[in-house]
Amino acid sequence: MAKVNVWVKRLLIIFNSVFAVAGCLVFLMGVIGKKYVHEVDREEQYGRNTLMTIGVVTIFLAFLGGYGAKSENKCLLFSFFTGLFSNFLLLLLLTVAVVVLRPQIFSTIRGQFGSHLLPDEENSDFADIVQSQLKCCGMDNGYKDWGESIPVSCRCPVVNDPLQCTSVGYLSVYKQSCSIPLFEVIDKASFIIFGFTVGFSIIALIGMALSITLLWQLHRQTSIIQLDPPKYSEIAAIPDYKMNLLPFPDMRYSP
């Protein structure tokens, strides 16, 4: 009778143990972010909730794969394979979308930023966040995009840096426009997402290969068990077995 390869089983258990630890770390990153940062905007809150969700899903998949490998449960192993395959396809679509739609993403953010430059715009939170974080002012023409209503987020710190700041009347504002650093941020974010998806795809392929190998071995083992004929001693132990072998019922012995 064929047996399951113990090394495939051990590798899958080790793989899912590491997978579970990674999921716990991702989940803790989201929890710590929510604990120590009290005042957050919607984007930051969404990012932390996303980390926690990814962590929970990773831990759940690791449990399915690890316990399924240990108990040789085909249902759990198939669920683990299906979960990894689904996430693999989603990340593959996300990678293609990020690479293909990157110029459109920049154009959308550029248009959203430009809408906050209008004089009657009341909510300029997005532009303020971009300018304060990237240390820039305006989109294409620097501080001139704001006209005479230069926001506080364009102002340099108390210590004037001649490389970053310029004087406009009695104000010291950032010299650089936001178009170049904003594009660099989007480009770096796209590269990080691409690297993450490629890395996870490789990990998912390894997990799928191990799980499908173990599933095939379990299926082969079950098939051999079902095709293995019973022993003669087991058949002979059945009552009236030899009498039932007679060609005609009338030839059976009757006391």
- DSSP E strands: which ranges in 122-249? 165-168, 171-174
Residue 47 falls inside a structural domain: yes
pLDDT in tens, 96-152: 887 787 777 777 777 766 655 554 454 467 778 888 888 888 888 888 888 888 888
User: How far does Cα 255 stand from its chain's mean position?
Assistant: 77
Residue 167 falls inside a structural domain: no
Residue 157 falls inside a structural domain: no
| Cβ proximity of 132 and 153 under 8 Å | yes
Give the pLDDT of residue 62.
92
Instruction: Give the C-alpha separation, 176 to 142, whole Å.
Output: 6
Which segments of 72-178 does DSSP mark as H helices, in order?
74-115, 125-134
Indicate whether 176 pLDDT > 70: yes
| Cβ proximity of 77 and 34 under 8 Å | no
pLDDT in tens, 135-149: 888 888 888 888 888
Give the pLDDT of residue 13.
92
Residue 43 falls inside a structural domain: yes
- Owner of token pair 């003669």: 232
User: How far does Cα 63 stand from its chain's mean position?
Assistant: 16
| Cβ proximity of 9 and 214 under 8 Å | yes
Total number of residues shown for the chain: 255
Residue 62 falls inside a structural domain: yes
- Number of C-beta neighbours around residue 39 at 10 A: 5
Residue 249 falls inside a structural domain: no
Instruction: Give the C-alpha separation, 108 to 126, whole Å.
Output: 13
- Looking at the 3D structure of the chain, how many domains does it have? 1
Instruction: Give the C-alpha separation, 175 to 165, whole Å.
Output: 5
| 116 φ, ψ (degrees, to nearest 5) | -85, -5
Domain housing 102: 6-136+178-227
